[in-house]
Amino acid sequence: MSRQDFDVHFHVHMISDSTGETLMEVMRASAAQFEQAHPIEHLFALVRSERQLERAMAHVEDYPGIVMFTMVNADLRRRLEDRCAERGIPAIAVLDPIQATLSSYLGAPMRGRAGAQRALDADYYRRIEAMNYSMAHDDGQGDDLPGADVILLGISRTSKTPTSIYLGHRGIRTANIPIVPGSPLPDILFELEEPLIVGLTASPERIIQIRRNRLINLKEGRDTGYVDEAAVREEVVYAKRLFARQGWPSIDVTRRSIEETAAKVINLLNEHRGEA
């Protein structure tokens, strides 16, 4: 019987001289491509001394698996690689191919500074400010819509909030406004030119499913127009017609992850800014 015939749980040791966030994201994105693979995660962050590396490697030897690492200190890196090679443990320097290609293309060496991507520079503060803006302008709150980079519109359960927060994390000031039957949208929305306004839609079936699950979580057993099929279809049609009438681009999120939706919004924003 091959490993493909059953679920596989395996240890992944992520060793980083920085926060380890990059390693975590790369590992999870890679493991997600293997449906039956279930990684058991071990993260060792801010490993910058021999003692810290020794502690991490002792754990690796107790729970053999795969080692993924980012390490700019040449001595520590060599110790890690030698130790793994001696014990037959696969070790992957996840950023090497990217950094080597960049170095070759730019004709410049790397700085070799641990955690360089986390430097407290202007970009870092821009992301923090964007996150604060997105949280303050969630679900129709806030009063600075002209200050947005992106404004998301959609009926209930079209992933407006998580998409806004994700975009905020990427440094994009994002507001989101719900489309509620019988409630007018802010007048200023129809006067704005600079922010990109994007409509989010989904199939009625998907929206009903999510809304029913929400009612269950809230222990709400009554049947309401919130999950009535005809009412939901009417909401979807109304929203789509609104987006078309105003010339606002729309995204169907039925089969999209938050990351995919955000990536589409970013592409639209780049096009919008190019046209502007």
Q: Which residues are annotated as a binding site for ADP?
A: 154-161
CB 13 within 8 A of CB 40: no
Which uninterrupted H or E stretch holds 204? helix 204-217
Which positions make up the binding site?
154-161
Return d(Cα 159, Cα 143) in angstroms, integer.
Answer: 21
Alpha helices in 32-73, H assignment, sequence order: 50-62
Six-digit token string for 78: 């060599």
CB 189 within 8 A of CB 145: yes
Return d(Cα 27, Cα 65) in angstroms, integer.
Answer: 13
Selection from 133, 131, 178 nearest residue 152 by Cα: 178
Give the SS3 label for residue 95: coil
Q: What residues pair up with 13 in beta bridges, in sequence order?
A: 42, 67
Give the SS3 label for residue 8: strand
What contacts 245, CB < 8 A, 6 or more positions away? none
Return d(Cα 139, Cα 152) in angstroms, integer.
Answer: 10
Return d(Cα 153, Cα 185) in angstroms, integer.
Answer: 10
CB 43 within 8 A of CB 68: no
SS3 content of the chain, % helix, strand, coil (to 5): 50, 15, 35
